[in-house]
Amino acid sequence: MSFLLSAHSSHYPHEIFMDANATTPVLPALQELMSKVYQTHYGNPSSPHYAGIRAKRVLNDTRNAGAHLFACEPDQIIFMSGATEGINTAVLSVLQSYAGGKGKGCYLLYSATEHKAVPEALRHWNTLLQVEAEVMAIPVDREGQIDLEFLRAHVGDALMICTMGANNETGVYCDLAALEREIRALRSDIPWLVDCVQMLGKRPIALGKTTIDYAPFSAHKLYGPKGVGALYVRTGAPFTPLQTGGGQERGLRGGTENVAGIAALGQIFTWLNDRAISPFQDSETLYGYRQTIIDALQSAFPKLTLNQPLDRSLATTINFSVAGYSSSELIAIFDAAGIRVSAGSACSTGGARSFVLDAMGLPTWQSEGAIRMSFGPAFSQADLDTLCERLTFIRDKITGANPWGQGALYIPDPMTSGSAWIMCRTTQQALALTDSPDVMQGIESCCPETDWQIQVWNKESQDFAGFRLHREANGVRITALATERSIQLTDAGIVVAHTPSPKLMAVSEFNCEQMTFIDVREQSEALAQYHEYPSPCLQTIPRALWCDYVLRAEPEGSPRPIFFCRSGNRATEVARLALSVGWQDACACNAAASEVFDWLRRQKTPVE
C-alpha cells in the first residue's frame, strides 16, 4: 500500500490521456462530492433512521435524474457495479426460462463488433443453464453497421438479440430507431439488449420511448468512479436478480448500495440534463476538436488511414492505422511523447489485432496496426492545444535528420535479422551488407540527402567507418577497430556468446551516482521522446544502434550501466549482448521505462 500511495502522489503534467473509451479520470467536482457524501451521508440506505434516510435520498435523487435523462420511470433504473454486471443480469433474466435444453435449435444473436462482455455472458449462461442455444454473431459491413438481411433470416428463431449503441473501438454508432423498426416488424416479443456504455453523454438515449428491454451504463466512462453503474430495464421485461441478499433495490439487486458512487453518477445525470451547468462540451465543439486532431495526426503520419466512417461515429473517437507501423510501435511513439492511446478495447489487450476491424472486413495491416485515440466531452481547448503541440513534435522528430553521430553500425533487428549497414557521415557514404530492399529503404530513411553514395559489401575483408568486416562460414564478423570488440552476424541475427545472464535490477536498487541509465528504444520511440531527460546520467539508444553502442562505447571507469525499456526482455537482450562482447558489469532493469523515468524525475525534483 505504501508503494501505491507514493506512486500516485506524484503529478504527471506531461500526460495527455487519450484513452477515454477505456476509462476517464474522476473530475475534481465529483471527487469533492463523493468526499462530502462519505462524511455526511454515511448511513445504510436500508436503515430506517435519519442517517439511512439521508443516504436513501441520494439514491432517489440519482434515480430521478436518470429517469429524466432517459425519458423513463425511476423504478426502471437499477444501480449496479457497472455495465458488465448489467449485461450478465440481462442475459440471465432472459435465459433462465430456457434452462435444461429448452433453447435447443434457437439462436442467441449479438452484433459481431460487440464488446466481449456480451458474447462471453451469452456463452457462459447458455452453458451453465444448459440452454443449448447457438450463440451467433450478426455480421457487419465495412462501416460497422449490422447486416439486416442476416438479422431478418435469423431473428425469428432467436431467444435474444444484443446490439451496441456505439462501438467502443471505432465509435461507430447505430441508428437505433431504424434498427428498432426492423426488429419489431419481425419480432415484437424478442428481448433486446443495447450496450449504451459509450453513448452516455455523447448521443441522445430516450430509452423510455423505445422498446429496448435492457441498457447498461458505467459511471467511469464519463468521469465518474469505477465500480458503479446502472441497468435500465423496460417494464414487463423478464428479470431475474444476478445476486440476492438483503432486498436492496426493491429485491432486484442484493448488496448495500455504493452511495458515494451513485451520488457521482447522479451528478453526471444532472449535468447531462442541464447543459448550462455542465462541464461537457457540445457536440459541434467536439466534432471540431476531432477534425483538428485528425489533421494533426495526418501531418505527423502522412500514410495514416482512418478505420471508421466519420459521419457515423462519435465525435470523441478516432480509430486509425499507419502503413509500416504496428500498433505496438505506434503506442510506444505516443507513450514516449506523453500521449496515452490504446490498440482497442482495454478488456482485450492480449489480442494481436482488432476483432472489430476484422469483423468490418478491413485489411490485415489495418487490423494489426489499429490505434484508438479517444477523449471525453470534458476535453478542453487547452488539452487540444497541448495534444497538437506534441503531435507536431512527433512529426518534426520522426521526419527530421538522423541525430546519432557521424558514423554508425545499423542493425534494425539485432536478434532476428541479418540486415545491416554502416554509415559514415563525414564522407556521406553508406555500406550495405546486402542489397535487399529492406536495407536500402533503411539507409534512405537514415540519410534523406540526395548526394549519399551507397555501395554493397563484396564479401571480402574490408575496413569502413571504424569497423572491420570479415567473412565467416555462416555470416560476417564485425569488429570495432577502436575497442577490438566484435560480433558475429548471420542471416538469423546476432550470435550471442554463452555468457551468464545479466543481473535484473529493481527500481529500488538504483543509485544515480553509481549508475548510467541506458534507455533502449525503437528508433521511432527515441525520436518521439517528449519530455526532457530527468537525469544527466541517462542515455537513449535506439534499437538499430544497439550493436554500434556495445561495440564502441567505453563503459570502463564509468558508472555501472543498467539497460531498461518498455519491454524487460529487450533490456535483458541488450545487457546480455554487452556482456558477451566484453562489458564487465552490464545489468538490466525489470521495471517499465515509465517507472524508471518517474523514479529519475523524483530524484531530480523530490515529490513533497
**Catalytic positions, written as ranges:** 347
238 vs 236: CA distance, rounded Å = 6
| Closest by CA position to 333, among listed 84, 487, 524 | 524
Amino acid identity of residue 203, one-letter, is R
Order of strands, edge to edge, in the sheet holding 538-542?
Answer: 503-505, 587-589, 560-564, 515-521, 538-542
Smallest Cα–Cα separation from 226: which of 13, 34, 46?
34
Q: Is the Cβ–Cβ distance between 585 and 577 less than 8 Å?
A: no
Q: What nine digits make up the cell of 365?
A: 495491416
Q: Which residue, 83, 108, 84, 114, is CA-closest to 356?
A: 114
What radius of gyration do the chain's Cα atoms show? Answer: 29
Return the ∠ at Cα 391 (arms to 8 and 348), rounded to 5°.
Answer: 55
Q: Rounded distance, CA 208 to CA 567, Å?
A: 49
Residue 589: phi and psi, rounded to 5, are -105, 135
Among 25, 22, 13, residue whose Cα is nearest residue 279? 25
Residue 24, CB-side half-sphere exposure with 13 Å CA sphere: 26
State the DSSP H helix or E strand holding residue 161, giving kind and residue range, or none if neither: strand 158-164
Nearest to 198 by CA among 227, 229, 177: 229
CA-CA distance, 372 to 368, in Å (whole number)? 12
Cα 196 from Cα 143, distance rounded (Å): 19
Distance, C-alpha 560 to centroid of its chain: 35
